[in-house]
Amino acid sequence: MIKLHVNNEFSRLRAVVLGTAKTNGPAPTLEDTYDPKSALHIKAGTYPKVSDMVVEIAAVCSIFEKYDVTVYRPSDIIDYNQIFSRDIGFVIEDKFFKANILPDREQEFTAIKHVWSQVPEENRIQFPEEAHIEGGDVMPHGDYIFVGTYRGDDYADYITARTNRAAVDFLQETFPNKKVKSFNLRKSNTVAEDNALHLDCCFQPIGKGKCIIHENGFLDKEEYEWLINHFGVANCFQIDKQEMYHMNSNIFSISEDVIISEKNFTRLNTWLRAQGFTVEEVPYFEISKQEGLLRCSTLPLIRD
């Protein structure tokens, strides 16, 4: 059995599910895309090649090996995108939640059943049918659970809206002793620069009491300001619209002091080092073309 434990985004990582690109298959058709950034690259003929994505994920795997992290991988499904393991599930405390994802992606979860089955049955949680949620919107943070959502009445019109109010309510019922704090995110089906697909596309807490944040990802200014006040303005690294588009907030913490980041995030990586972090740089630009980066492709199971 796996003894799950995750209570924040940055305590020392011990075990993780890392996505795979080995059997990703050909680029999808424009009609089969789920986000505007993938659509943009399909139209431009720059959608990432499987061979390039395999190299990028292998670079992350080698960093995990360097830090003695146990790595689980999905079983292979031929011609199927299995890179973004965070979308399909997440762990809070000792509970493994199966996300309620887009129906076309249901097979992705079957590929990690060998992990799910090692969790005690009472700690395997499934959301009610009406609760939509993906792991990129969920961030345990001590006494808080931060959740990205979209609260507009036109929720059903946005394929980029992945987490609804019913899911937020279910999390609060599951963790009555925690404060579930939701954030209304900006959505666009067509303009990648205006779309915060998940909370981790515009915000992420890191070690040392700091965070990375993009103001325009939040529809409600007071919710953005709540985060600034919670962390303290001096502890918030503000990213601009282009940096959000390139997924600068979607890095991944191995510990309070060690962060995996994309090698081209020059401004961010310089700031992180100035704050005392060790930055392990990897190439991840090709994968980012699918509107996901390092946090999206990792599902932590055990942190100290």
Q: What letter does residue 48 receive in the DSSP assignment?
A: P
pLDDT digits (tens, 9 = 90+) for 156-183: 999 999 999 999 999 999 999 999 999 9
Instruction: Please return the burial class of 66, using the count of CB atoms within 10 Å of its CB with bins 0-12, 13-18 and 19+.
Output: exposed
In this structure, the number of other CB atoms found within 10 A of the CB of residue 72 comes to 16
What is the pLDDT averaged over residues 83-112?
Answer: 92
pLDDT of residue 103 exceeding 80? no
Distances (CA, A) of 21 to 26, 38, 54, 75, 83: 11, 15, 5, 11, 6
Report the run of H or E that residue 205 belongs to, with start and end: strand 203-206
Q: Which residues contact 298 (CB under 8 A, 6 or more apart)?
A: 16, 17, 18, 19, 60, 85, 86, 252
CA 20 – CA 60 distance, rounded (Å)? 11
Confidence of residue 44 (pLDDT cuts 50, 70, 90): confident
Distances (CA, A) of 235 to 2, 192, 216, 288: 34, 27, 18, 26
**Please, what sign has the CA dihedral across residues 296, 298, 202, 221?**
positive
Residue type at position 164: N
The model's pTM is: 0.96
pLDDT digits (tens, 9 = 90+) for 121-134: 999 999 999 999 99
Q: What is the pLDDT of residue 33?
A: 80
Pairing state between β 13-18 and 298-303: antiparallel
Confidence of residue 17 (pLDDT cuts 50, 70, 90): very high
Q: Helical H runs in the chain?
A: 36-44, 50-66, 85-88, 107-110, 113-116, 165-174, 221-231, 241-245, 266-274, 285-288
3-state secondary structure of 269: helix
Confidence of residue 32 (pLDDT cuts 50, 70, 90): confident
Q: Are 160 and 189 in contact (CB under 8 A)?
A: yes
CA 210 – CA 232 distance, rounded (Å)? 8
Residue type at position 116: W
Confidence of residue 139 (pLDDT cuts 50, 70, 90): very high
Beta bridge partners of 287: none
What is the pLDDT averaged over residues 38-58?
Answer: 91
What is the pLDDT averaged over residues 9-30?
Answer: 92
